Structure 1
């Protein structure tokens, strides 16, 4: 019996946290991982009868101990703020467990709802933002950039030398590339040191029109940053910049923007699977919308496919030009929103032809919506779903896998996708949607003249069947 008692005692550890005694097993506190403080404490001399003293909050420790035992947060965690829990979890080295326990479920657009809003403390109207794979987000507001982690906690703000930031891209975990329509150049800032680390300008000594070129759009690959520049004389191009050296590598798509088919790209997307850069431009006026979609191979600098609407556009619906486009980088597809009909169309990037568009049909006639030309329209692809903003309304188109293979190219898209309305009436009345972007298992939405960024997540009870 004495040997059994001795064995049990060596499997347990006593901790005195802030004056409160805890007793648990070694296996429980070692669950925190070899780099955690608790794992290190578990290796102390077992012959020492005194409990380990930790000068921290015992009530929060109780929550974290329960987390290590069950992989879930107990109801008592609601008494503490996210910041308090995050700080203590970081101290003990179990922040990854807290992140896993508080992470939203896999993102499903048809079951998404607003869970909160992130509002910068000063100049709260966001001018641009970018989300990361872990669900964190960087928000540009005025000439500042604020960072919020996976738990929506503010981790830092730095002020740039720009008055306004109109485009932002995360090029390294702590490095942001930013551009402005009112100031020249592409600029790189380091969050960790709140400092400016470099700039790139578009220069051409042989052409005096290339002067104070502004950045309109930014995207990045593993090794490069791509930014579209234009000048007051409407000359424009895309510069490929080495991410490590912050130096121009090449110039793509030099053109004069006197016509709609030659204006500066307002949106850039790099497709890792193919190494292709997709650029698009849309302009609207008294005579409707016009613009182009163009695909470049950065390795050769050549255009591999392009279309423009109206005019030389490859579309069977002449006069119904697109008002917005986006790229599904995982599904290798282009999506466009038609300005007059409001229809959503897709094209397979693996076989782009003269008229590659498949128009997705709404089966329920009462739900068919016109484009309402002149209203705000936005399209964004994320995790195999297509999110569409029409004015203040948000909808999601989800692929129907079992029927998708039966649709032939060039036919109407019956059964290819199904549409669901995501928002409630009060959501759609907040203001016109300006931008939609996914990150982790979240969707981030900004609206015209509305402070902050909306955060959308799926419910833990996701899986209900939607009714059209």
Structure 2
């Protein structure tokens, strides 16, 4: 009946079908299905075999037939069947890599676009040894993550599957930055220098140290923060006697090209930057430092032009005027790179404020107002961190995680002081009460369609994803 209908109705001819024997189990599908993978995949290559002989023996592939059944369904429908839950992510990824259809699996298993308002905790990644992370860095593209724990770095791919753990020559890694897909820049608060490592090969590629022949005190300078641009690495160095600066390092040669903002002393205005962010739109480098003591919080935000080495804008808190809310200085600072907006969270009130980096002045801050009646009250913002990701601002207050989301459809022209949150931003909790009891949030970072969170004295890194995924494949 199929042969008779094939002459009058559209459908696959017998020459368009292919038979495969996978691990002793026979599969029959169409050439278009197995060619829907990458052009250089194993299945695409097999599809080029002659199929003119209907009685020819099927192609034999010595692999697991049950997993192949899942992958064949993926090629047919671009989604994973419910039977995929029977296998771990690693098993599916290994087989997809063998057949050359890893990109299809990645598209099907990747989380949906990340929005904080409907995010939930999906897994906590715990490195095999010394599980308390000292630093981590996430890839913006695929949501993979590298976690430093002690002197080791563990890498997890887009599937959150552990791919490698390398041991560095440092006792502890406290700063890490992904420079290229397999290359990381790292620093330690207990050892000198900026160090470059090949994560995939476990090799130490090179090092850069801050030295000054005219000043013998400049030695054993430690790295506290790292940022990068397409051509340069920016690292803040701090000497034991409190001399500090930001070095600009050429990415290709690891040679120092210039230094920014050399400072000396223990005052809040002269601290080493604890955060660095490079803005591709303007080429400006943003550095900030925060300290706390018996008299509260203090610190600065400073913008450098790396080309001239000059400071183009700065503010110090606590200070006079409303920019510091009469002593309510910031507990943390973050930059929305895409929108060119500075955000700060106040240490006493916990208020969130923003400043347009294209119109900075003596008092650029606009304070966001909380108009969401469902939010529980928060007191203060002392132990607070913030992170900007995909036009959202995530705030960790003690152990609680919240998000300020931009309301779509509101024109920028309506932004007026005192109406900012009411018209443009809305505040919601990301977590539940039981989540907030796991410990004080120390760092938040977005990558791919995920948010990564670390907590004080807690093992592992929390992974948050939006909860409207159609298929959930557990990490085993």
TM-score (normalised: structure 1): 0.95
Alignment partners' CA distance in 2, 1:96 and 1:23 = 23
- Tell me if the contact between 1:307 and 1:313 (Cα under 8 Å) persists in the aligned partners: no
1:415 shift after superposition: 2.2
Name the structure 1 match of 2:102: 95
1:401 shift after superposition: 3.3
Determine helix, strand or coil for the equivalent of 2:362.
coil
Q: Where do 1:139-178 residues align within 5 Å?
A: 139-178=147-186
Kindly indicate whether residue 278 of structure 2 is the aligned counterpart of residue 273 of structure 1. no
Aligned residue among 19, 23, 26 for 2:24: 19
Q: RMSD across aligned C-alpha pairs, in angstroms?
A: 1.9
Kindly indicate whether residue 408 of structure 2 is the aligned counterpart of residue 401 of structure 1. yes
Cα displacement string for residues 346-367 of structure 1 (whole angstroms, at most 9, x for unaligned residues): 0001111110000001125784
- Tell me if the contact between 2:385 and 2:443 (Cα under 8 Å) persists in the aligned partners: yes
Cα 1:316/1:125, change in 2 over 3 Å: closer
Name the structure 1 match of 2:83: 76
- Tell me if the contact between 1:335 and 1:345 (Cα under 8 Å) persists in the aligned partners: yes
Alignment partners' CA distance in 2, 1:251 and 1:328 = 25
Name the structure 1 match of 2:49: 44
Alignment partners' CA distance in 1, 2:411 and 2:298 = 30
Cα displacement string for residues 409-443 of structure 1 (whole angstroms, at most 9, x for unaligned residues): 54452323110011111100000000000000100
Cα displacement string for residues 229-287 of structure 1 (whole angstroms, at most 9, x for unaligned residues): 01011110001111111111111111113210110000001111111110000000000
Aligned residue among 201, 222, 226 for 1:218: 226
Aligned residue among 65, 69, 91 for 2:72: 65
Cα 1:437/1:313, change in 2 over 3 Å: farther
Alignment partners' CA distance in 2, 1:7 and 1:382 = 47
Cα displacement string for residues 426-468 of structure 1 (whole angstroms, at most 9, x for unaligned residues): 1000000000000001000000111000000001279xxxxxx
1:213 shift after superposition: 0.1
Alignment partners' CA distance in 2, 1:104 and 1:156 = 23
Alignment partners' CA distance in 1, 2:69 and 2:313 = 60
Name the structure 1 match of 2:132: 125
Cα 1:209/1:71, change in 2 over 3 Å: same
Kindly indicate whether residue 437 of structure 2 is the aligned counterpart of residue 432 of structure 1. no
Alignment partners' CA distance in 1, 2:373 and 2:329 = 23
Determine helix, strand or coil for the equivalent of 1:117.
strand
Gaps of 5+ in 1: 463-468
1:7 shift after superposition: 7.8
TM-score (normalised: structure 2): 0.93
Kindly indicate whether residue 61 of structure 2 is the aligned counterpart of residue 54 of structure 1. yes
Q: Where do 1:41-440 residues align within 5 Å?
A: 41-47=46-52, 49-132=56-139, 133-311=141-319, 315=323, 317-364=325-372, 367=375, 369=377, 371-372=379-380, 375-403=382-410, 405-408=412-415, 410-411=417-418, 413=420, 414-440=422-448
Alignment partners' CA distance in 1, 2:208 and 2:393 = 34
1:404 shift after superposition: 5.4
1:35 shift after superposition: 1.5
Alignment partners' CA distance in 2, 1:157 and 1:263 = 34
- Tell me if the contact between 1:343 and 1:371 (Cα under 8 Å) persists in the aligned partners: no
Alignment partners' CA distance in 2, 1:153 and 1:69 = 26
1:332 shift after superposition: 0.8
Aligned length in residues? 461
Cα 1:339/1:260, change in 2 over 3 Å: same
- Tell me if the contact between 2:320 and 2:326 (Cα under 8 Å) persists in the aligned partners: no
Range 406-415 or range 198-207, more displaced:
406-415
Alignment partners' CA distance in 2, 1:135 and 1:197 = 25
- Tell me if the contact between 1:340 and 1:370 (Cα under 8 Å) persists in the aligned partners: no
Determine helix, strand or coil for the equivalent of 1:315.
helix
Range 238-247 or range 161-170, more displaced:
238-247
Alignment partners' CA distance in 2, 1:271 and 1:252 = 16
Cα 1:225/1:316, change in 2 over 3 Å: closer
Gaps of 5+ in 2: 471-476
Cα 1:314/1:244, change in 2 over 3 Å: farther
